[in-house]
Amino acid sequence: MDNNEIREKLVLALDVEDINEAKQLVNDLSPYIGTFKVGLQLFCGYGLEIVNYIKEKNSNFFLDVKFHDIPNTVEKASYNVIKNGANFFNVHATGGIEMMKAAKKGAMDAALKYDRKKPLILAVTVLTSISQEVLENELSNKKTVEEFVIQLAKNAKEAGLDGVVASARELKAIKKALGDDFVVLTPGIRPKWSLKDDQQRIATPTSALNDGADYIVLGRAVTSASDRIEAIEKIYQEIKEGI
């Protein structure tokens, strides 16, 4: 894999408290990172303030706020997400097929109207914080987590979404059931040398990419490093050696 191909696959989670720190991260790391992910923390603090900053660096903007509402509301929200410059976003697959179709419709309408590139819409299946026990006892669902993940991924495909967010543990099963074209974005990535933090189902960048991940999410392994450029360069090296 060359540097451009690696850059396309790397997503950096901008999980920071301060907008200036987020801007600093974009500034320093955009030569290495194809997509920056803004989650609820930064979004609730500063809205879409960082979007233009990311666009100037020629990186994708992934709004990770996981819509889950009635179809009409999700359609309108998805329209505005694309109108305002994001080109990746996600919804909860448990919102149902009609809701996911509505997300796609809203996003495509805005992309057409504002001449944006085709949006990439991903579904969140089962949050990794939901255990088998919670699925059974609190949510009265008798399936195994993996069976439920696959069912929800199939629903997402039927609704016309591009793929799912899934841990490295589910990656192969999803590709097998849904096909190689169905995009999988994998968080919980830890290079060989980094701390596990609070993540349970982790994988190295190389093993996730070898198992078929289309995008891998880097977070604290890079953002908490004392030298972030050195950390990302080590990740590039690790990927090049392993693939």
Q: Which is nearer to ligand C5P, 73 or 199 (CB)?
A: 199
The residue among 108 and 190 lying less far from ligand C5P, judged by its C-beta, is 190
Nearer to ligand C5P by C-beta: 103 or 217?
217
Identity of the residue, 34 or 187, whose beta carbon is nearer to ligand C5P in the bound complex: 187
Residue whose Cβ sits closest to ligand C5P? 219
Q: Phi, psi at residue 182, to the nearest 5°?
A: -80, 120
Least distance from C-beta 155 to ligand C5P, angstroms?
Answer: 18
Cα 18–Cα 8–Cα 87 angle in degrees, nearest 5: 60
**Closest distance of CB 188 from ligand C5P, Å:** 5
CB of 39 to ligand C5P, least distance (A): 5
104 is a catalytic site residue: no
| In the complex, minimum distance from the CB of residue 168 to ligand C5P, in angstroms, rounded to a whole number | 10
Q: Which two tokens stand for residue 201?
A: 């189902």
Asked whether the beta carbons of 104 and 161 are under 8 A apart, the reply is yes
Q: Which of 66, 104, 175, 234 is catalytic?
A: 66
The residue assigned the tokens 């999410």 is: 217
In Å, how far from its chain's centre is CA 20? 22
Contact 81, 57 (CB under 8 A): no
- For residue 65, the minimal CB distance to ligand C5P (Å) is 11
Binding site for ligand C5P (CB under 6 A): 13, 15, 39, 128, 165, 167, 187-188, 197, 199, 217, 219-221
Complex with ligand C5P: residue 67 or 79, whichever CB lies closer: 67
Q: Point out the residues that are catalytic.
A: 66
